[in-house]
């Protein structure tokens, strides 16, 4: 059972545009929602994370929007750059010691120059 659903599967934007990736989760016990960025041949790297007590978190050009009632959260990349071209994964977890991450299927982002 896929507990975290991610869309779109792929996304192409122009340099300077806004990239938006969406995720929906099922398990209401989840209380930690990170986004990871993965380049080819590398492991995922933490980009930004949010907890459900806030509706939005911004770090530089990256913003997470969180809708607890809808069980949805999204990543917005402002002023997208070619260097942002990578695969992005949303994830969810219940934050306890040893908590596993449940990942979405991933979104391959391409930013054209």
Partner 1 sequence: GAGVSQSPRYKVAKRGQDVALRCDPISGHVSLFWYQQALGQGPEFLTYFQNEAQLDKSGLPSDRFFAERPEGSVSTLKIQRTQQEDSAVYLCASTLSGGLVSGYTFGSGTRLTVV
Q: Are strands 10-14 and 4-7 parallel, antiparallel or unpaired?
A: unpaired
Q: Which residues have C-beta within 8 Å of that of residue 1, sequence separation ≥ 6?
A: 26
> 76 phi and psi, to 5 degrees?
-115, 130
Q: Report in angstroms how near the CB of residue 24 gets to partner 1 at its nearest.
A: 14
> 84 phi and psi, to 5 degrees?
-80, -10
The answer to whether the beta carbons of residues 23 and 113 sit under 8 Å apart is: no
Binding of residue 42 to partner 1 (CB under 8 A): yes
Sole binder of partner 1 in the list 21, 91, 109, 111 (CB under 8 A): 91
String of contacts with partner 1 for each residue 5-24, x by CB under 8 A:
-x------------------
Q: Report in angstroms how near the CB of residue 94 gets to partner 1 at its nearest.
A: 9
String of contacts with partner 1 for each residue 43-82, x by CB under 8 A:
xxxx--x---------------------------------
In which region does residue 71 sit, left (phi positive, over 0), alpha (psi from -120 to 50) or beta (all else)? left
Give whichever of 5 and 61 is closer to partner 1, judged by the CB atom. Answer: 5
Q: Site residues (CB under 8 A) for partner 1?
A: 4, 6, 32, 34, 41-46, 49, 89, 91, 93, 95-106
């Amino acid at each position: 059972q896929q507990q975290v659903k991610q869309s779109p599967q792929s996304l192409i934007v122009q340099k300077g545009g806004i990239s938006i990736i969406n995720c929906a989760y099922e398990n209401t016990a989840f209380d930690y929602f990170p986004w990871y960025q993965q380049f080819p041949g590398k492991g995922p790297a933490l980009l930004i994370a949010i907890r459900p007590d806030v509706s939005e978190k911004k770090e530089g050009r990256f913003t997470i929007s969180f809708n607890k009632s809808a069980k949805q959260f999204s990543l917005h990349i402002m002023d997208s750059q070619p260097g942002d071209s990578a695969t992005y994964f949303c994830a969810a977890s219940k934050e306890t010691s040893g908590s596993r991450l449940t990942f979405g299927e991933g979104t391959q982002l391409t930013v054209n120059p």
